[in-house]
């Protein structure tokens, strides 16, 4: 990782004349990036059974220099959206603007973008140098210009020593770097990634995440990344766009999307856990912002504070604003917020929900007002456990149904049927409007 960061810095400071590379000292902080806007963008496929809306009325503004991930399950429209941006698919409706100018009628080869494909799409009959140089030849650059740009791209990606090899002579990670070099050598305003890490093994995939993110930040590129892998989205992105059935469900920072999903679909798609059904008995605060998160306000979707009646007792939790007394809500319980211990553990038994006692004594106060983390305790039984090194994942049976909890990996996993006491980190919970269609 240190090697590639050094090479990136060298590329940014020693690029040949005419190479548009971002530098902090550049006038206006100019970079390779541009502002991209999707306006009511749709892709509709007519059929005898009715129109299929692969993408429907999508509106999105992607700011210069941001790493934006289109995230969602197969068939959600993320790849179709990327292909329309690239110019490989013609939209049925709407427009695509780059720096306030429509590019809807611009062919793919004329758009100032490069794409890294899932399969890398390297030419098997060309060497590494030939693959990286290919686009420059199409652009009819002189041989000297091509050589200078290719050398810098190969240096940047740390693959100059493989310049004369063919794709079949390279590892998966090396092929990935060639694909990146080929994309970057064209000096695009925007670089597009179509699930580029899906063919790599787990260890290499994690390494390449970091390298791609470092590269994007060093060169201040605008990047649009398509994946169905929530871990990739959370660790690499400035902004995540969650999609489902051709529509955008939520746009926000990784923290905001994960901790404050706008609906049950987004909550279920990111992270592991489950839901507790609740019924609003009072609205304690309709305009809470901070919610004790410590995150900056720019990262936070709006929040309200509710008291909910549930099968495990009354809970005071933050949630999506706009709900009223009498409404049903689903409380998102992430595995990390439901800590599992064997029943009779002295630490758990000593804390038989003192925060709950304080809440009952002080009535309608916010959990955040208690001067610390507000926990509740529930009884449960282990259904199954899975050891994963640092953590043990549990499926536990509670009065609210089967939930996913966690325990420290340093403790031996508890067997099925074991009675457990679970600490519910109530202040970290989040409630979304009830929607049984996603169950």
- How confident is the prediction along the chain (439 residues), in pLDDT tens digits per residue? 334 433 333 333 333 333 323 233 333 334 445 789 999 999 999 988 889 999 999 999 999 999 999 999 999 999 999 999 999 999 999 999 999 999 999 999 899 999 998 888 899 999 999 999 999 998 889 999 999 999 999 998 889 999 999 999 999 889 989 999 999 998 888 999 999 888 788 888 888 899 899 989 988 899 999 999 999 999 999 999 999 999 999 999 999 999 999 999 999 999 888 999 999 999 998 876 554 455 555 567 789 999 999 999 999 999 999 999 999 999 999 999 999 999 876 554 444 443 444 344 334 444 444 333 557 889 999 999 999 889 999 999 999 999 999 999 898 999 999 999 999 998 899 999 998 665 5
**Confidence (pLDDT) at 5:** 36
**Confidence (pLDDT) at 49:** 84
**Confidence (pLDDT) at 242:** 97
Task: Establish whether domains 2-252 and 272-438 are of one fold.
Answer: no
**Confidence (pLDDT) at 119:** 81
Q: What are the structural domain ranges in the chain?
A: 2-252, 272-438
Q: What does residue 338 show for φ and ψ, rounded to 5 degrees?
A: -130, 95
Can you tell me the distance from the alpha carbon of 213 to that of 225, in angstroms, rounded to the nearest whole number?
Answer: 11
Q: Which CATH number fits domain 2-252: 3.40.190.290, 3.20.20.150, 3.40.50.1100, 3.40.50.300?
A: 3.40.50.300
Q: Report pTM.
A: 0.83
Can you tell me the distance from the alpha carbon of 342 to that of 394, in angstroms, rounded to the nearest whole number?
Answer: 12
**Confidence (pLDDT) at 297:** 54
**Confidence (pLDDT) at 438:** 55
The CATH H-level superfamily of 272-438 is Nucleic acid-binding proteins (2.40.50.140)
Nearest to 370 by CA among 425, 420, 432: 425
**Confidence (pLDDT) at 33:** 56
**Confidence (pLDDT) at 359:** 45
Report the Cα 1 to chain-centroid distance in Å: 22
**9 half-sphere exposure, CB direction, 13 A CA radius:** 6
R_g of the chain, CA atoms, integer Å: 25
**3-state class percentages of the chain: helix first, strand second, coil last, to nearest 5:** 30, 30, 35
**Confidence (pLDDT) at 269:** 93
**Confidence (pLDDT) at 368:** 44
Can you tell me the distance from the alpha carbon of 111 to that of 104, in angstroms, rounded to the nearest whole number?
Answer: 10
**Confidence (pLDDT) at 118:** 81
**Confidence (pLDDT) at 381:** 95
Q: What does residue 362 show for φ and ψ, rounded to 5 degrees?
A: -105, 10
Residues 252-258: contacts with CB within 8 Å, 24+ apart? 252/299, 252/301, 253/299, 255/293, 255/295, 255/299, 256/295, 256/299, 256/300, 256/301, 258/234
């Amino acid at each position: 990782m240190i090697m590639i960061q050094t090479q990136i810095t060298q590329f940014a400071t020693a690029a040949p004349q005419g190479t548009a590379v971002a530098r902090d000292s550049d006038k206006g902080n100019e970079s390779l990036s541009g502002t991209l806007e999707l306006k009511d963008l749709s892709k509709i496929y007519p059929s005898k059974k009715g129109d299929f809306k692969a993408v429907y009325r999508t509106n999105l503004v992607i700011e210069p220099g941001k790493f934006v991930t289109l995230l969602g399950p197969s068939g959600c429209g993320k790849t179709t959206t990327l292909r329309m941006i690239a110019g490989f698919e013609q939209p049925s409706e709407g427009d695509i603007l780059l720096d306030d100018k429509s590019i809807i009628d611009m062919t793919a080869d004329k758009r100032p973008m490069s794409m890294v494909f899932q399969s890398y799409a390297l030419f098997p009959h060309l060497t590494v140098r030939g693959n990286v140089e290919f686009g420059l030849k199409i652009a009819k650059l002189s041989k000297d210009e091509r050589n200078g740009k290719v050398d810098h791209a190969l240096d940047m990606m740390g693959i100059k020593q493989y310049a004369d090899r063919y794709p079949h002579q390279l590892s998966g990670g090396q092929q990935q770097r060639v694909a990146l070099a080929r994309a970057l050598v064209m000096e695009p305003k925007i670089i597009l990634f179509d699930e580029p890490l899906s063919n790599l093994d787990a260890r290499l995939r994690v390494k390449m995440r970091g390298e791609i993110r470092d590269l994007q930040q060093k060169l201040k590129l605008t990047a649009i990344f398509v994946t169905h892998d929530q871990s990739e989205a959370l660790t690499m992105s400035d902004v995540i766009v969650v999609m489902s059935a051709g529509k955008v469900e939520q746009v926000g920072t990784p923290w905001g999307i994960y901790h404050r999903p706008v609906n049950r679909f987004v909550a279920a798609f990111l992270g592991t856990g489950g839901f507790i059904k609740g019924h609003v008995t009072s609205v304690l605060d309709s305009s809470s912002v901070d919610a004790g998160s410590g995150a900056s306000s720019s990262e936070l979707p709006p929040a309200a504070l509710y008291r909910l009646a549930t099968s495990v007792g009354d809970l005071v939790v933050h949630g999506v604003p706009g709900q009223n007394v009498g409404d049903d809500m689903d409380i998102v319980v992430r595995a990390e917020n439901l800590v599992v211990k064997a029943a009779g553990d002295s630490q758990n038994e000593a804390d038989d929900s003192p925060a709950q006692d304080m809440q009952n004594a002080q009535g309608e106060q916010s959990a955040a007002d208690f001067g610390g983390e507000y926990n509740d305790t529930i009884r449960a039984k282990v259904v199954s456990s899975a050891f994963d090194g640092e953590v043990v994942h549990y499926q536990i049976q509670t009065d609210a149904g089967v939930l996913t909890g966690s325990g420290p990996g340093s403790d031996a996993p508890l067997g099925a049927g074991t009675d457990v006491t679970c600490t519910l980190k109530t202040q970290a919970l989040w409630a979304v409007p009830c929607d049984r269609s996603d169950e």
